[in-house]
Structure 1
Amino acid sequence: MPIVLRSLMRDRILHLLLLLGVIMVPLANFHWSQLPGAVDWHTIMTLTGLLMLTKGLENSGYFDVLGARLIQRFQHERALALFMVCAAALLSTFLTNDVALFILVPLTLTLRKFSRLPISRLIIFEALAVNAGSLLTPVGNPQNILLWSHGALSVPAFIAQMAPLAAFLMLTLMALTWWSFPARSIQKHEQGESQPWHKPLFLISVLLYIVFIVALELKMTGWALLLVAACFLIMARSVLISIDWSLLLVFVAMFIDVFLLMHLPWLQPHFAAIGQLGEGGLYLLAIGLSQVISNVPATILLLQKVPPSDVLAWAVNIGGFGLLPGSLANLIALRMAQDARVWWRFHLFSLPMLAWSMLGGWLLLHLMR
C-alpha cells in the first residue's frame, strides 16, 4: 500500500482538481446529496477493469514478446510510427478510444527495452490517433454514444455523417506522423532485457478481457469488475497493487468539479442562452467547452439545450484535440507514458491539430450543405 500512497502524494493533477473543488464548493448552488450522482460510476468501473486487465497483460510479460517482434518486423522509425498510429485509429473505431490506448500504450512502452525510439512522441501520436479514429462510429467514444442514443440516425447514417471529418483528420495525422518521425533506421539494443513470459497470467488476462468487453455491451460492468478483481486477487495480487489508483481519483474529481462548475449561479443565465445560438456559435462553444471540461461532459451539457446535430457531433469530437482536458483519452495516454515532459510536449502537436481541425471541419461542413 505504500506504493499507492506515494502515487497519491505525488499526483499534482489530483491535487489541483481537489483544490478547484474546494474553491467552488462554497460558490456553487447544490445539495451534498447530489455529489455521488455527479460521478459517472459506469466510466469509473470501466476504467478500473481496464487498468486491472492491462496491468495483468503487462505483468505477464507478453508485451515484451510482442514488442520484440515489432522491433524485428520494422526497420525504420517512420514505418513503425505509421503502423502504430493506424493501429490506434482502427482499434478505437470499434473498441472505443480508451480500450485502444490501454492495449497500445503499454505495448509502446516495452519498445524502449529493445531499441532507442522517441517513445513519448509515439504515445502522443497514439492519443491523437484515437481521437481521430474513434469519431467515425457511434461506439468509438462516449460522446458519440450519447449523440447517437439521443438522435434518430442509424449506424450507417451516423458513420456517413462523420466520415468526411474522420477522413480529413486521419489524412492530416498521417502527414503529420510522416513529418514528425524520420525515416532513419531503428537503433536496436544488442540484447533486450525481457521478463519471463507467464503464460497462465496472460491467458487468464486475455480471457477476462474478452469477458469484460462483452459485459460492457450487456450492461453488466459491475459484475464483470468483481470477477476480474477476484481472479487477480487469487492469481496475482501484485496486479491490484500496481495499477494507477490515483488516475481513478483524478476522474472522480473531474466529474465533481464539472458538476460544481455547472452549478455556479452566475453561469446559469449563460447556459440558458445556449439554445439560441446559431451554428457558428454552437460550433465554437462546443469546442471551447471541451477544452475546459472535456468533450464528454460538454456533450452532456449541450444535449440538454440543443439537438444532436452534425455540427454538435463534429465540434465535440474536434474538441478532443487542443488542451489536455479536451478528451479523457489524452489524460489516460499521458499518464501511462510515465514521462514528466510529455505533458507540455503533447500540446506542441495537439494545439496546432485543434486549430487545423476547427478550420477544416467548418469548411467541410459548409461544403456538405
Structure 2
Amino acid sequence: MSSNAAARLLQPFLKDRFLHILLLAGVVMAALNPQQLPALSGFIDWRTIITLLGLMLLTKGVEVSGYFDFVGRKIINTLHSERWLAMFLVFSAALLSSFLTNDVALFIVIPLTITLKKLSSLPISRLIIFQALAVNAGSLLTPIGNPQNILLWSKSSLSFLDFIIQMAPFGAAMMVSLLALTWFSFPARDIVKAPHTEGYPYQRPLLLSCVALYAIFLLCLDVGLSLYGLLAVFAGFLLLARRVLLQIDWSLIFVFIAMFIDVGLFTQLQAIQPWFADIARLGDGGVYALGIGLSQIISNVPATILLLNYVPSSQLVAYAVNAGGFGLAIGSLANLIALRMAGERKIWLKFHYYSLPLLVWGALLGWLLA
C-alpha cells in the first residue's frame, strides 16, 4: 500500500471526535468493571457490523460507477420545485425503509442526494436530515423495518400483518407529521440547476457487478453466511475497482464497534444493576418514558434489548423505542449513518433543530395512540 493510500485511510480516524469520545468512555467503564474485559467481543453484534460494511462497499461501488450521477440528473430534470423534490425524496426514503430496513434505505437515498449537490443549489444537508427522520418514521411500520422491530416481533405472538396493524396508527401519524414539516421547511421555488445536467455516462459493467454482488450478499445474509457474503464483496472489488476499498468511511465501522462495547460495559456496571431490577415493577408510563429515555443514551436497539429482559414485547414498548429514534442523534443507528454519510460537521447541530421537536411530538402521539 502506498503512503498516500495509508494516509487516506488513517485521516478519518484522526479527525473522528465521536470515535475518540466513545473510546475514552470505553476505557473509563472498562477500568470501573475490569472483569468484563474478556467479554468485550461478545458485546459486538458482528452480523450488524458485517451488514453495515457490506452495504457501505456496495453503495460506494455504485457511486464510483457514476450511476447516482445519472439518476440524479434524471430527477433534477423531472422535478423542478425544491418542495416537491424534498417530498419525493422523504417519501421514497420512508417507503424503502418499511421493507428494506432503515439502513439499506439510507445507503440508497443518501448517496443519490449527495450527488444532487453537484447538479444544483439544493440544501443538501437539510434533505439528508429529513431523510434520516423519514427512515425512522417509515421503518417503524413493519416487523422488518428496523432492528428493534425485528426483536419486538420475534418476542411477540403477532403475525406479520398483525404487527403492521399494531404500528399503523403511530406510523401514519408520524409520516403525516413529517410530510407536513417537509412541506413547510422547503420552499416552492424552482431548483437552480448547474449547467450540463442533461446526460451523464456511467460504467455499466461496474454497476451490473455491484448488483450481482448485492444479490449474493443478501442471499448470504438470509442463509446465515454473512461473513462469506462480505468476503465475496471484498474479492469482487479487489478484482473490479480497488479504489472502492479506499473510499469508504472505515472509521464508521469502528464507531459502531465502540458503541456496542460501550453499551455492553454500561449495562454491566454494578452501580446501575439495582435500577434495572426495578424495571419489571414500573407502570406503563414508567416503561414508556424509560424506553424513550434509554434510547437517547444507548440508542433504541440496545434499549429494546434491555427492556425485553424485564418486560414483555408490547405496543407500548414498540411505540416507545421507535419514538426514541428521534431526538438525539444517538437515538437511532440510522441517524448516525445518515449524518456520517453527509460528511458535514455542522449537520449534527442542524439535525437536532428538527429531531428534538419531533421527539417531543412523537412521544406525545405514541402515548396517546398506544
Fold conserved (TM > 0.5)?
yes
SS of 2:33 mapped into structure 1: coil
Unpaired segments ≥5 residues, structure 2? 1-5
| d(CA) in 1 for partners of 2:37, 2:141 | 38
Instruction: In structure 2, give the amino acid aligned to 1:41.
Output: W
SS of 2:144 mapped into structure 1: coil
Aligned to 2:277: 272
Matches within 5 A, 1:1-369: 1-28=6-33, 30-192=35-197, 196-365=201-370
Cα pair 1:132 1:166 within 8 Å, conserved: yes
> How far off its partner does 1:226 sit?
0.7
| d(CA) in 1 for partners of 2:199, 2:40 | 45
| d(CA) in 1 for partners of 2:86, 2:149 | 27
Cα pair 1:321 1:350 within 8 Å, conserved: yes
| d(CA) in 1 for partners of 2:231, 2:84 | 41
> How far off its partner does 1:220 sit?
2.0
| d(CA) in 1 for partners of 2:322, 2:35 | 30
> How far off its partner does 1:113 sit?
1.2
> How far off its partner does 1:218 sit?
2.2
> How far off its partner does 1:194 sit?
8.3
- Identity of aligned pairs, percent? 59
> How far off its partner does 1:30 sit?
3.4
Cα pair 2:30 2:37 within 8 Å, conserved: no
| d(CA) in 2 for partners of 1:188, 1:232 | 33
Q: What TM-score does the superposition give when structure 1 sets the normalisation length?
A: 0.97
Cα pair 2:148 2:304 within 8 Å, conserved: yes
Aligned to 2:3: none
SS of 1:261 mapped into structure 2: helix
Q: What TM-score does the superposition give when structure 2 sets the normalisation length?
A: 0.97
> Which 4+ runs in 1 deviate beyond 4 A?
192-196
